[in-house]
Amino acid sequence: MGSLEVEKTAIGWAARDPSGVLSPYTYTLRNTGPDDVQVKILYCGLCHSDLHQVKNDLGMSNYPMVPGHEVVGEVVEVGPEVTKFKVGDIVGVGLLVGCCKTCRPCQQDIEQYCAKKIWNCNDVYTDGKPTQGGFANFMVVEQKFVVKIPDGMAPEQAAPLLCAGVTVYSPLNHFGFNQSGLRGGILGLGGVGHMGVKIAKAMGHHVTVISSSDKKRQEALDHLGADDYLVSSDNVKMQEAADSLDYIIDTVPVNHPLEPYLSLLKVDGKLILMGVINTPLQFVSPMVMLGRKSITGSFIGSMKETEEVLHFCKEKGVTSQIEMVKMDYINTAMERLEKNDVRYRFVVDVAGSKLDQ
């Protein structure tokens, strides 16, 4: 791959403006530094937050932008101080590629809450250059932010675990919802939601999927293994289910009322928000006061938790349900994702795609 001092060219698919349309884009990778790993990208998952980024939904997007943060690839070059990886390893890279390493969250190994964290795309790296994501042929990443994909795990299956999987695993782990016998709810059955069902079931929970319509009932119960299914507009069934859940993982990425779901929680139950929503959510305070209930949030997971969820899923035989596409289909895939028309995660076969056309 050449010497460590030579900058390399990468080809990715980038958005140029808030239309969010991706097309081929050539840019320069930074040198592979002493602590860096260069990765040839094999697969990259498509997350709903990629849509927010390319369309500037949060008002913070910079262009050109190569999205994609569920990256699986092969190590092709390592810096002289890299100890965790060697050429040929199959590895994963998630949403984070940098942090300050000195603040309290960093010292506690929860670097996803570092105020100076660096995103893998739509951010500026320490060298002053923009970061670019995984819809590309190569990336250079500091070894701290790279994880080994367990032997025997299909690389395309691993991709969604690097965001959707760890996003669910982290709060279940942190809030003590990782023991068997609990009753949990999964609100919204998309990419994160379907991993929520699978991981919670693997932890031994009774899992209820909560959705706005009946159309995913059979999939939730028969294919994903959920124990129950609630339609949020069915007032009778919702009342029957009141005070029955220890937690609800709320994956809905658009504005929605919280009160119907707060009523499903037991005393001390937690509603855990995971959807990126750029408008205020509302509830009346007695809904939480009268059951000592909590509305909280959780953001992806730490590098430690990312390693844990990969090994947990390998041990428990948990797989993600994916639809594999080539890069020339990415704009159609994003349109379909916006309509929730995917079961349940698009994964781009980057290495099998012609990126320059």
Cis peptide upstream of residue 64 (ω within 30 degrees of 0): yes
Q: Does residue 202 sit in helix, strand or coil? A: helix
| Residue pLDDT, tens place only, 24-81 | 999 999 999 999 999 999 999 999 899 999 999 989 999 999 999 999 999 999 999 9
Question: What CA–CA distance (Å, rounded) separates 171 from 200?
Answer: 11
User: In the numeric block, which tokens belong to residue 69?
Assistant: 């943060």
pTM of the model: 0.94
Do the beta carbons of residue 71 and residue 120 sit within 8 Å?
A: yes
Question: What CA–CA distance (Å, rounded) separates 125 from 93?
Answer: 15
At the top level of CATH, which class does the domain 165-297 belong to? alpha beta
In the chain, list all ranges with CATH 3.90.180.10: 9-161+321-349
**DSSP 8-state code for residue 214:** S
DSSP per residue over 11-79, as a string?
EEEEE-STT--EEEEEEEEPP--TTEEEEEEEEEEE-HHHHHHHTTTTS---SSB----EEEEEEEEE-
Angle, to 10 degrees, between the axis of helix 191-202 and the axis of helix 164-174? 50
Neighbours of 290 (CB within 10 A): 10
User: In the numeric block, which tokens belong to residue 217?
Assistant: 């009932």
3-class SS shares of the chain: helix, strand, coil, % to 5? 25, 30, 45
User: In the numeric block, which tokens belong to residue 169?
Assistant: 């695993």
Q: What are phi and psi for residue 23, nearest 5 degrees? A: -150, 165
Do the beta carbons of residue 167 and residue 76 sit within 8 Å?
A: no
| Residue pLDDT, tens place only, 205-250 | 999 999 999 999 999 999 999 999 999 999 999 999 999 999 999 9
pLDDT computed for residue 1 by the predictor: 41
Question: What CA–CA distance (Å, rounded) separates 165 from 167?
Answer: 5
**Chain centroid, CA 142 distance in Å:** 20
Residues in CB range of 265: below 8 A, 6 or more apart: 243, 245, 246, 247, 248, 271, 291, 293
Question: What CA–CA distance (Å, rounded) separates 57 from 15?
Answer: 13
Q: Which residues of the chain have pLDDT under 50?
A: 1-3
Residue 169: which of 347, 339, 299 has the closest Cα? 299
**DSSP 8-state code for residue 99:** -
In the chain, list all ranges with CATH 3.40.50.720: 165-297
pLDDT computed for residue 7 by the predictor: 73
159: left (phi over 0), alpha (psi -120 to 50) or beta: alpha
DSSP per residue over 248-308, as a string?
EEE---S---SHHHHTTEEEEEEEEE-S---S-----THHHHTTT-EEEE--S--HHHHHH
pLDDT computed for residue 5 by the predictor: 56
The CATH classification number of 9-161+321-349 equals 3.90.180.10
Q: Which residue has the tokens 């699978």?
A: 198
